[in-house]
């Protein structure tokens, strides 16, 4: 089962700023995704997943976003 982005981030002892620097994403974007206020773009998912060394679907918010995007395309 996928873990939340916050669980991955905290489990790796990363601050928002650390993850933002490693992924190239804005701190505000990461915060909004964690709070569920914003659905991430695919490029954001790939960058963040790569920065924390997990597959995109292993992050719960990303798995939901991927499912949502797939349903929209159908």
| Residue 27 predicted with pLDDT over 70 | yes
Helix (H) or strand (E) holding 52: none
Residue 56, pLDDT score:
93
Residue 33, pLDDT score:
93
Q: What is the span of the domain harbouring residue 16? A: 5-73
Looking at residue 25, which CATH number applies to its domain?
1.10.260.40
E strand residue ranges, the chain: none
- Number of domains forming the structure of the chain: 1
Average pLDDT of the chain is 90
**6: closest CA among 26, 32, 42?**
32
């Amino acid at each position: 089962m996928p873990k939340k982005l916050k669980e991955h981030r905290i489990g790796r002892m990363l601050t928002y700023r650390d993850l933002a620097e490693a992924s190239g994403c804005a701190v505000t974007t990461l915060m909004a995704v964690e709070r569920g206020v914003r659905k991430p773009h695919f490029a954001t998912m790939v960058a963040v997943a790569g920065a924390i060394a997990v597959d995109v679907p292993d992050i719960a918010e990303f798995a939901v976003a991927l499912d949502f995007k797939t349903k929209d395309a159908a």
